[in-house]
Structure 1
Amino acid sequence: AVFGPTIMLDEHLNFLYLFNQITIPRPIDADWHMPVQTCSFLFRREIWARCPYPSEYRVVGDHVWFRRQMKLSLNLVSIRRPIGIFTWHQDDIAKRLGSHGENALADVNRKTVRMRIAKLFFRLRKLASGGCLSPFSFSYEITTNQQTGVKRSITFPRLGL
């Protein structure tokens, strides 16, 4: 499977920030957060077949599915170019305002020393690999129903956490 940085846009297709995911996560990293954006995660059909998507979840299914894949020794490769665009719509934000009652990490004790060390190690690896450094510039193209491709270029994009 391949993953890379994600460009985040608002509902009017204005640039918000670059989610600079370049650090290859370990299985324990998926136990304390979702280490990849699924819109910038490309995988083969065999990966989907070996562990189907958990349809019992409405909101946190991506995280549960990714955790299961990591436990099955998913082989990940990181590329340093944005390969996904995610657009925040008001409908998406509204779902996150209230509690939805789903917990992707119900079986994980996130307060253990092991988990705290994993968080620190992941953050240090991200810092060392340049994940916290904004690229000088990048370009992307947006295509909608009303118009053909519009190229946009961002200099020193704001990074998301």
Structure 2
Amino acid sequence: MAIYKKALLAALSPALRAQQFKKLGATWVRDCEEVFCVLNVQTSQWSELYYFNVGVSVKALFTGAKPSFYDCHFGERIPQGDEVEVYGDLADFSGERPSAAERIERLADMIPASAVAWFSRHDSAEKLRARASDSPKTTVALRHSLNQGGCAQVREPNHSTEPLSPSRGGSS
């Protein structure tokens, strides 16, 4: 499906580029000092519903050039909290109202702001250490790396660590 995806991606780009994100397909990546910040737009394969995934990949553990959302050591869907109900209505393009153009415009305002706010809480090893100590799903290698201040000798991809979300034991 994904009839509106191209227009939605184009509408999100200016605000994300202004925040130093670089786009590849449906994913934007910002290179921070200790982590990569990743925003990904995902489309339902059965409908015109769009999902917005945010995550961070710890540089000391990532072996590739640019991470995808699936390479992230921490990740969630946004928006969260009070914005979820509004987002749900806007992100499902199968409804007649508001119009697709209005949905895209409102999402282009909401999603970059939600992503940047999420990244501000997860964009350093110190912030990730606090989160990792609270989560039972954090791998031993990730905890070790974070506790060693980056620990460059520990370099393994995130194949065994699924992204965390509040519904799966993570915290925001």
Which bin holds the TM-score, normalised by the shorter protein? under 0.3
Higher relative contact order, chain-length normalized (CA < 8 Å, sep 6+):
1
- TM-score (ref. length: structure 2): 0.25
Judging by fraction of residues, say which structure has more helix. 2
- TM-score (ref. length: structure 1): 0.27
